[in-house]
């Protein structure tokens, strides 16, 4: 075999391997979820606690950044921690008077209504409202997105999860990552519920390849990439430093058995 033929063979082998790697990567990440680690109000819409007010700058900045990402990617479905029912714009007539009032107030916040708006231009009252209502819901109420999707099956499940968390926190002065009961209550059960609903959505909408997941910064969905075949999680660069992930173990088999 001539040197030219050898080089030609090597070139074709290289191209074949490159295509194989690309195909493998495509198979591994056929669906991508952009995970946005957030600082957030414990309960949507409720007045901020004294502790949260002291941390208002961090809370409101986090929600402002989430709102901007959601608006810039408004074509993607958005899943939100703690939500036990889907909320869609088409049901706007069913919104409570409180929600309609929030929506009216939000329309007056110029930085939220301008895709190039700056956090520094928010007033104190703007920051409080944004922290209370949240970035995703602000975008929904302003009509920037059409829906927000649940990550918990129903209110009964939501209440059971909250009770489990409160029970754990009430009896344990210190929680470690090796405490399976605590990690299940605080992290893993919510993780699994969110992933379950995202998978269900993707299965129902095979033409959709990407989604947004807004969850507390102490969760870490990156570790779930590849656990469910084809499903990968990414933290956008602007949110990479927001993560405060707790290194709890995951149970791939338990996660897969949910489906």
Summarised one tens digit per residue, pLDDT across range 184-204 is 888 888 999 999 999 999 999
Q: Which of 205, 193, 199, 259 is nearest to 230 (CA)?
A: 199
Q: In what order do the strands lie in the sheet with 210-216?
A: 78-80, 210-216, 31-38, 231-234
Q: How far apart are CA 108 and CA 80, in angstroms?
A: 24
Compute the half-sphere exposure of residue 209: CA atoms within 13 Å on the CB side of its CA.
5
Is pLDDT larger for residue 216 or for residue 6? Answer: 216
Nearest 10 degrees: Cα torsion 25, 28, 31, 34: -80
Residue 149 phi/psi, 5° resolution? -110, 150
pLDDT band at residue 172 under the 50/70/90 scheme:
confident
Q: How far apart are CA 84 and CA 87, in angstroms?
A: 9
Q: What is the tens place of the pLDDT at every residue in 67-84? A: 999 999 999 999 999 999
Per-residue pLDDT averaged across 1-12, rounded? 45
> To the nearest whole number, what is the mean pLDDT of the chain?
82
Handedness of CA 92, 93, 96, 98 (dihedral sign): positive
Is pLDDT larger for residue 90 or for residue 165? Answer: 165
Residue 197 phi/psi, 5° resolution? -70, -35
The pTM of the full predicted model, rounded to 2 decimals, is 0.82
Q: Indicate whether 240 pLDDT > 80.
A: yes
């Amino acid at each position: 075999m001539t040197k030219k033929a050898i080089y030609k063979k090597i070139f074709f082998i290289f191209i074949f391997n490159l295509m194989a790697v690309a195909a493998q990567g495509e198979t591994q990440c056929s669906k991508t979820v952009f995970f946005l680690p957030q600082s957030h109000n414990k309960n949507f819409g409720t007045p901020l606690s004294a502790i949260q007010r002291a941390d208002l700058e961090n809370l409101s900045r986090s929600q402002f950044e989430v709102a901007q990402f959601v608006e810039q990617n408004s074509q993607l479905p958005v899943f939100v921690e703690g939500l036990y029912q889907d909320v869609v714009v088409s049901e706007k007539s069913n919104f409570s008077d409180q929600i309609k009032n929030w929506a009216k107030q939000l329309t007056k916040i110029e930085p939220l209504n301008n895709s190039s708006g700056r956090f520094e231009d928010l007033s104190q009252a703007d920051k409080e409202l944004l922290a209370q209502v949240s970035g995703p819901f602000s975008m929904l109420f302003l009509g920037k997105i059409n829906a927000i999707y649940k990550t918990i099956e129903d209110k009964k499940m939501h209440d059971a999860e909250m009770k489990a968390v409160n029970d754990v926190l009430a009896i344990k002065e210190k929680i470690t990552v090796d405490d399976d009961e605590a990690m299940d209550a605080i992290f893993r059960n919510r993780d699994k519920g969110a992933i379950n609903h995202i998978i269900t959505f993707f299965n129902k909408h095979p033409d959709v390849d990407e989604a947004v997941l807004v969850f507390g910064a102490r969760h870490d969905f990156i570790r779930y990439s590849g656990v469910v075949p084809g499903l990968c999680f990414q933290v956008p660069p602007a949110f990479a430093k927001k993560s405060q992930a707790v290194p709890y173990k995951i149970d791939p088999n338990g996660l897969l058995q949910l489906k």
